[in-house]
A and B are shown apart, each in its own frame.
Chain A
Amino acid sequence: MINLAGRDILYAWGKFIFTGLGLGLLVGLTLSMAGIYRGLVDDGMVLLQNGGADLWVVQRDTLGPYAEPSNVRDDAYRALLGVRGVAEAGNVTYLTMQIQHESSDVRVMLVGFEPGHPGEPGYLVAGRPITRSHYEAIADVKTGFQLDERIRIRRHEYTVVGLTRRMVSSGGDPMVFVPLQDAQEVQFLKDDDALVNERARTAANPAFNRPGVPGLLEAVQASQASSRTVNVVMLRLVSNADEVVVAREIRRWKHLEAYTRADMNEILVAKLIATSAKQIFMFLVILAVVSAAIVAFIIYTMTLNKVREIAVLKLIGARNRTIAGMILQQALGLGAIAFVVGKTVATLWAPIFPKYVLLLPGDAVLGAVLVLVICAFASIVAIRAALRVDPATAIGG
């Protein structure tokens, strides 16, 4: 038997292919939106994975360090190392800031970490780890920094010695890793003018500048310029330790807040990025609905354009099943082309996005099924219209 659908497509293949391409771009858009949503959630996940920590110890009664500010004294790690079950501890600071790069600003999250301790980037795509205790940096490739480039952060120049990837804050800002002490200085040491002004202010305070007590003013000023806080202490536990038990011990006896990976996931995904994720998800749903409607309209109008041909078919005695099959096959063919085109373009343009786009194979399969189901449903409307065509229209009705 002749395949009517194939015949019809071959008859106007250009139109069919271009319609499929157009639909494909729409499907690609929807898949990308799904990828953006997945990427947003994944950004939060990698933020937790990258440090390689089992427990996050932060200031008491805060949801730090990602969702709320948190300050912990930098010698707290010594006490934490004494807790049973703790194997390694690393101080980490976070600061979101702008860094000058080639006459423009790059927004980065500055991470202070201790080399060899939890919190350091787990892998590099180029360069070497930090070996000096000051003025070296590892940057995420999204920052645009090159190896051996000198970047200025506040008052010092840092050499980029290594590059990494997928190291972003929950907001998607690429990270720049510097030694802890430098990061502490960046957080608390102001620019020169602010320092001078602050010194003048302290000197003008009679409580700190007493004539009979030489040295007091200098002591006060020295204490103002130093920083002994970090934002989080990351802990790695021994292999058989129960993280919930250790977290409870720390909360009870060290008077700090401790979060397990599950807690952190909850904070990041359910609290921090919840609103923006929902926003994108909502948009994804609307986009999917709109795409479905457009697919349906296109198939419907495609069928209506063939009213005359269908009437001729009816006139020559074609069965309804044949006509319905033709329309359904065309719709499914269109859907298949659209999916292939959509998946291809979504994959190809994903790396160009400024933020991470994660295209999961599961999403693609779901997308394929949805596209075909929508096409099938849309063709039902068109089939109903086709079956109602009066054969008389074929002969000038």
Chain B
Amino acid sequence: MNVKLGRKATLITAGIGVAVLLGWLATSQGPLAPAKVTLAKVEQGPLIASTFGIGTVEARRSYAIGPTVASRVLRVLVDQGDVVKTGQLLAELDPVDLGDRVVSGQLAAERTASIVRAAEAQLAEAQSRTQLAVASARRSTELRAQGFVSQEAADAKGHEANAAKAAADAAAAQLAAARRDHDRALSDVAGVRKLRAQARLTSLVDGVVSARLVEPGTTIVAGQAVLQVIDPATLWIKARIDQGQAGGVHVGQPAEIVLRSDAKRAYRGEVQRVDWVSDAVTEERIVNVGFAARPEGISVGELVEVTIRTAELANVGSVPAAALKRLDRQDGVWQFVDGRVAFRPVKVGITTLDGRSQIVDGLNVGDEVVVHSEQVLKPDTRVKVVPAIVRANP
């Protein structure tokens, strides 16, 4: 009997053991197991709001130097990287017949100068004739009064005097016309000279040649650039920042710039311009950031990452950003209550780049909220609090 009882006890024990094992398996391993979560407290402290964007290094002032008329490139005197001064000759276009036209214009001017001199002589002659004729006519009039000459002879002398005056006026007008002609010829030659000067491309600024776009012999259209000159002192960043995060960006805010070629280092900079026009297609705001000190060896077009510090809050409550969820278009957090979770709506302020979100309203400092969970939480989900859901590998 004893043996039998012992066996029964053994069987019962084994049965209970098996039931416990199955129960444990069902409630801790399978879909019925409580979801593991980690908790964090609402902390009080300073928060630094920043915004992040990527951009390229660009020259604020970039000069495309090219002709105003279609022409052929004769010489290009500088190459990429050359430092140039204001007014320095950079390239020359083939003037074709412009030199000849200058000479032709000069000759034409000289010819008109001669015509002016001839007209002056003619005028002098006509004036001399007029003086003689007028004197002669006056004498005839006096003699007629005393009856020494006939009326007819006196009239003839009067007519001669009038004709001589008219001839002198005509000569004066001709001289004026010749002078205008001369002025015009001078203007012509000056114009052609200027045209000739246009064929010489000079630098408008002190700067660096950033591109040599065409080589001698190329025919280019009006407005096409031969050389590109930039002013290296005006290198800055054209950063593109998502419109959704560009809210607090203002001129003068400090920024950190990381060049792709030197990703380990952050250069200091400052927001210098926030464009009025943002990109409607990519939904990005364009923000220009200048370097505090221009790095050596920087290249135009290089990709950079820009972090702009937009606000600094001295003492506010915050939670990890991973704790914030949206349920029915309402921001909130999950709170741990007696082994289950409950949704608590909150008002969220800024979120920092390292993942802390400001809690404006809805939670108190020290309140515990669910940060990580191994599944989507629903109201009243059973949860189990663990220090970490995934173990970090060393």
Give A contacts to B, CB under 8 Å.
6, 10, 49-50, 75, 87-88, 116, 122-129, 131-135, 141, 146-147, 161-163, 165-166, 181, 211-212, 214, 228, 239, 336, 340, 343-344, 347-348, 350, 358-361, 364
| A350 to B30 Cα, complex, angstroms | 10
Q: Which of A123, A129, A134, A340 contacts B52 (CB 8 A)?
A: A134
Instruction: Identify the closest chain B residue to A365 (Cβ).
Output: B26
Contact check, B281 vs A125: say whether CB atoms are below 8 A apart. no
User: Contact at A131–B353, with CB atoms within 8 Å?
Assistant: yes
Q: Is the CB of B31 within 8 A of A87?
A: no
A133-B241, A134-B305, A340-B22 are contacts. A123–B353 as well, Cβ < 8 Å? no
* Complex: A116 Cα to B331 Cα, angstroms: 11
Contact A10 B242 (CB under 8 A): no
Contact of B353 among A88, A132, A146, A344 (CB under 8 A): A132
Would you call B21 and A133 a contact (CB within 8 A)? no
Are the C-beta atoms of A126 and B390 separated by less than 8 Å? yes
CA distance A128 to B242 in the complex (A): 20
Closest to A351 in B: B29
Complex Cα gap A212–B371 (Å) = 62
B interface residue numbers (CB < 8 A to A)? 7, 11, 18, 21-22, 25-26, 29-32, 52-54, 219-221, 223-225, 241-242, 244-245, 281-282, 305, 320-322, 325, 328-329, 351-355, 371-377, 388-390, 392-393
- Given A161-B355, A162-B322, CB of A361 within 8 Å of CB of B26: yes
A218 to chain B, nearest CB (A): 11
- Nearest chain B CB to A249 CB, angstrom units: 21
Contact present for B245 and A125 (CB under 8 Å) = no
Contact A6 B377 (CB under 8 A): no
Q: Please, which residue of chain A has its CB at the minimum distance from the CB of B260?
A: A156
Residues of chain B with a CB closer than 8 A to A214's CB: 220-221, 223-225
Give the residues in chain A near B244, CB-CB below 8 Å. Answer: 116
A343 near B25 with CB under 8 A, answer yes
The residue from B30, B221, B281 contacting A347, defined by CB atoms under 8 A apart? B30
Residues of B within 8 A of A239 (CB): 328
7 contacts between A and B (CB under 8 A): A88-B329, A125-B374, A127-B355, A134-B53, A135-B305, A163-B390, A212-B221
Instruction: Kindly list chain B residues whose C-beta atoms are within 8 Å of the C-beta of A133.
Output: 52-54, 241-242, 245
Residue in B closest to A87 when the chains form the complex, CB atoms:
B329
Given A88-B329, A128-B321, CB of A340 within 8 Å of CB of B355: no
By the criterion CB–CB under 8 Å, are A124 and B25 in contact?
Answer: no
In whole Å, how far is A143's beta carbon from the nearest beta carbon of chain B? 12
In Å, the complex CA distance between A126 and B241 comes to: 27
Residue of B30, B225, B281 ringed by the most chain A CB atoms within 10 A: B30
**Nearest Cβ on chain A to B105's Cβ, whole angstroms:** 31
Question: A125-B373, A361-B32 are known contacts. Are A75 and B329 too (CB-CB below 8 A)?
Answer: no
Most chain B beta-carbon contacts within 10 A, residue among A87, A133, A162, A358: A133
Distance of A120 from chain B, by nearest CB (Å): 10
- Given A126-B388, A212-B221; A131-B25 close (CB under 8 Å): no
Alpha-carbon distance between A75 and B280 when the two chains are bound, in angstroms? 10
Chain B residue nearest to A166 (CB atoms) is B375
Cα A239 to Cα B320 with chains together (Å): 28
Q: B residues within 8 A CB of A124?
A: 322, 371-373
Give me 6 other A-B pairs in contact (C-beta within 8 A), A122-B376, A125-B390, A364-B26 excluded: A125-B373, A129-B355, A132-B353, A165-B374, A181-B282, A361-B31
Q: Using Cβ atoms and an 8 Å threshold, which residues of chain A touch B305?
A: 134-135
With a cutoff of 8 Å between Cβ atoms, the chain A residues found around residue B53 in the complex are: 133-134
A128 to B371 alpha-carbon distance, docked (Å): 9
Q: How distant is the Cα of A166 from the Cα of B329 in the complex, in angstroms?
A: 24
Nearest opposing residue in chain A for B11, CB measure: A6
A163-B390, A214-B224, A344-B25 known; A123+B375 contact, CB < 8 A: yes
CB pair B321 A129 closer than 8 Å = yes
